[in-house]
Amino acid sequence: MTKFRYDINALRALAVIAVLLFHLNLPNSYGGFIGVDIFFVISGYLMTRIIFDSIEKNDFSILRFWANRIRRIVPALMILTLVITLAGYFYYLPNEYNVNEKNATASLLFYSNISYWKNISYFEPASDNNIFLHTWSLSVECQFYLLYPVIIYLLFRLLKKSQYVFAAIGIATVLFCCLSLFWSLRSANTSFYLLHTRCWELLAGGLALAIEKKYTVQFKWGPPLCYAALILSIVFLNESILWPGVYTLIPVIATMGILVSNQSGYSIFQNSALQLTGRISYSLYLWHWPLIVFARYLGFPFNTLTIIVILALAFLLAWLSYRFIESIKFKTSIPLVAALAVLAIATSLLSGFSPAYQAKISEMANYKVKHDRQIKAQFSTGCCFVEADGPEEFNKFIKRDCLKIDSTKKNILLMGDSHAASLSASLKDQFAAYPIHLLQATASSAFPFIPKNTGTDFHHQLYQYIYTDFLVKNSKHIDGVILCGSWYKYPEQEVVEPLLQATRYLKALGIPVVIIGQTNIYTLQLPTIIARGMEHNTDLTAIFTVKQAGAYNEFLKQKLQPYYIDVYYPKAIPPVSPNADPFVFDRSHLSRYGADLVVKKIVADPIFTDQFRNSYFKHGTN
């Protein structure tokens, strides 16, 4: 009988606590997303051990392996889905309820990682309100469980000896790791979500088992050093780092080191609280994120009290799930498969059904979907604004249209992310009266900084070209540059100095420059906030305002003078337009109505007219 591994349970506890702290956005835990990587390695290790032990005993059954995984994973997931489905019916607006149920179906059928790969980045603010977001990792694991035992069994039939199969696992780990690193440079979202770029972390667990079986590791300080590496990763890594990437090797190798050391004798590993957290880690992982999302949806401020309540509820629900759901001993998995199929069908049907609301409330709640075509035109999507992040996207940026110099007019270049793109149509209309020609170079999540290196992704290629080629060759024809972005995404020091560097560079080329300030941000999509307010005949915008964005704006205004134009609304944003257009169409992107208002503020600002005084703005004439 295999001796109980207290060290593995302690690792589970560390992993789930890291993820929980990361999702609560607590200081010194911004690298807590490595908890998922720790889970991957542990899962790969345990699954490989189960498969190898069974094969070596001539007692291996692929169907039994799958059945055991179903009995382990499905019950708690189904209960969670049922609770969210019922609670969501009463609290979510129709469009959000539909999306939730669509994501529920993807989670139950274990393809949510594929669904999110197509639609959303894990680290983007928009993902914060996806109540099933965390199931992406469960989908990756289940896809791995589906294929891995079949491949290992076939390898045993082909290679005969376990050491040869372990060698194949080692080779596959290295090859898929290299593939993942390569793919991250091409498309970070693809590499983050999909099995073929994540499986190397699970395979690394199998490699750890191979090393453990072949070598007896007795390095006393091994586990403490590996735990130190994990804790330092949690503290010092952050979501701006390419992930998976080179730094992913740190938690993967550290977790392998702890598994290979196989040392459960440390008293801290046997701590009752730590062991309990490890035992309930699966249910704790399932329940903590929906609690955070639901608290955010209801408008609770994320202060100390809210965080304590969320933690208490998460641990309570996790313990109840572990005690009364996970601990059930199912004799067969057939009823679970049937129940899973019924629930998946139900959530799929519910994704097309929603409670009845007043027409104007539904119209507001669905604003973004109903105005998708207008939004794409507003951003100049697919032409001067590019959304994807692969290197091939540089070819989709139409330079002849977006960067065409008009010799009969003044030429001003707009650079930045999607928030910059949201201003482009309004700027063009405003500039047409002067007359001024607007050039546009914008891409999603792309701050208009001078690239530090020659990266292969679209952002690097675009701004490498703009700064080192286009602006240098056309400096005499460019009458101004506008830098714009949602600066709040990153720490102040990662924004201020790069922006100042860009202004110095442009000034050296003799090109005037302004920086458009941080705009208002909300914890939910603004149309949702307005719709919920309409339902209760009240204004909820203040409750769901990210107040830190206002403080961030004040900080940048002090640090980036005389280039920074303040467009933030500190008290109340403009009301809905006569045509029922909200100021912002999601959490932070300006609608065309909002962009028109902000652009009027920009061109009327003394900083703008002073910087571009030779571009008609001072007196409106030559």
Q: Checking DSSP bridges between strand 480-484 and strand 564-565, what pairing results, if any?
A: unpaired
- CA distances for 49 relative to 149, 209, 278, 615, angstroms: 11, 7, 19, 71
The structural domains of the chain, ordered by start, are: 6-350 (no CATH), 372-521+562-576+592-611 (3.40.50)
pTM, 2 dp: 0.82
Residue 620's pLDDT band (cuts 50, 70, 90): very low
Tokens 């304590």 label which residue? 308
**Taking residues 457-475, what's their average pLDDT?**
84
Residue 622's pLDDT band (cuts 50, 70, 90): very low
How crowded is residue 352: how many other Cβ atoms within 10 Å of its Cβ? 9
Confidence at residue 617, expressed as pLDDT on a 0 to 100 scale: 58
Does pLDDT of 619 surpass 80?
no
> Quick one: 621 exposed, middle or buried, by C-beta within 10 A (0-12, 13-18, 19+)?
exposed
Contact 155, 165 (CB under 8 A): yes
Share of the chain above pLDDT 90, in %: 64
pLDDT digits (tens, 9 = 90+) for 598-608: 999 999 999 99
Report residue 18 CA to chain centroid gap.
16
Confidence at residue 621, expressed as pLDDT on a 0 to 100 scale: 42
More confident of the two residues 420 and 388: 420
Lowest-pLDDT range of 175-179, 342-346, 574-578: 574-578
Mean pLDDT value across the chain: 89
Confidence at residue 122, expressed as pLDDT on a 0 to 100 scale: 57
Q: Checking DSSP bridges between strand 513-516 and strand 410-416, what pairing results, if any?
A: unpaired
Q: How far apart are CA 254 and CA 271, in angstroms?
A: 21
pLDDT digits (tens, 9 = 90+) for 225-258: 999 999 999 999 988 788 999 999 999 999 999 9
Confidence at residue 356, expressed as pLDDT on a 0 to 100 scale: 57
Q: Checking DSSP bridges between strand 385-386 and strand 564-565, what pairing results, if any?
A: unpaired
Q: Please enumerate, as own/partner, the contacts of 589-597 that have beta carbons within 8 Å and a separation of 24 or more.
A: 589/418, 589/419, 589/422, 590/419, 590/422, 590/423, 590/519, 591/367, 591/371, 591/375, 591/378, 592/374, 592/375, 592/378, 592/425, 592/426, 595/378, 595/422, 595/423, 595/425, 595/426, 596/426, 596/429
pLDDT digits (tens, 9 = 90+) for 344-358: 999 999 888 766 566
- Cis preceding-peptide flag for 448 (omega within 30 of 0): no
Residue 209's pLDDT band (cuts 50, 70, 90): very high
Backbone phi and psi for residue 522, each to the nearest 5 degrees, phi listed first: -125, 155
pLDDT digits (tens, 9 = 90+) for 327-377: 998 888 999 999 999 999 999 998 887 665 667 787 888 888 889 899 999
Both tokens of residue 527?
A: 């149309």
**Taking residues 263-272, what's their average pLDDT?**
81
Confidence at residue 218, expressed as pLDDT on a 0 to 100 scale: 66
Q: Which DSSP helix (H) or strand (E) runs through 321? A: helix 304-321
| Helix segments in 432-546, DSSP class H | 458-465, 471-474, 493-508, 526-536
Q: How far apart are CA 24 and CA 289, in angstroms?
A: 9
pLDDT digits (tens, 9 = 90+) for 212-234: 888 766 667 778 899 999 999 99
pLDDT digits (tens, 9 = 90+) for 112-168: 999 998 777 655 656 778 999 999 999 999 999 999 999 999 999 999 888 999 999
Q: Report helix, strand or coil for 413.
A: strand
Lowest-pLDDT range of 83-87, 195-199, 324-328, 531-535: 531-535
Confidence at residue 302, expressed as pLDDT on a 0 to 100 scale: 84
